[in-house]
Amino acid sequence: MHEVVMKYLCVKREEIAYFQFLIEGYEGIGTLTTLDTKKGVVRFSIPEGLLADAEEILRLVGQEITLKEVPIDFVPHGRNGV
C-alpha cells in the first residue's frame, strides 16, 4: 500500500483556484482538496515518494502566491473537513 502525506495549507481565497490549477499542471504530484473556502484552508495529499518534489513545487509556488502550512488542529471539521 502506498503511503500518502497530508499537508494542510492556508491560501488566500482568491488564489485557491489558481493554486489548484498549478498543482494539476504537475500531473501525479498529488491532489488538492479545499476544506474551508472562507478561511482558504486546503489539504494537499502527496504520495510519499514524491514528497521532496512536492515540497520544491510548494516552495516555488510560494514565491508567486501566499502559502502557509497550518497545523491539523487549525483545520475545520465538518462536511468538508477531515
What is the model's pTM? 0.84
Secondary structure of residue 68 in the 3-state scheme: strand
For residue 31, tell me if it sits in a domain.
no
Q: What is the pLDDT of residue 41?
A: 94
Q: Take residue 9 and report the three cell numbers written for it.
A: 495549507
Model pLDDT for residues 29-70, shown as the tens digit of each residue = 999 999 999 999 999 999 999 999 999 999 999 999 999 999
Q: What is the pLDDT of residue 80?
A: 44
For residue 12, tell me if it sits in a domain.
no
For residue 15, tell me if it sits in a domain.
no
Number of domains the chain contains: 1
Range of the domain at 60: 46-74
For residue 27, tell me if it sits in a domain.
no
Helix (H) or strand (E) holding 11: strand 4-11
For residue 53, tell me if it sits in a domain.
yes
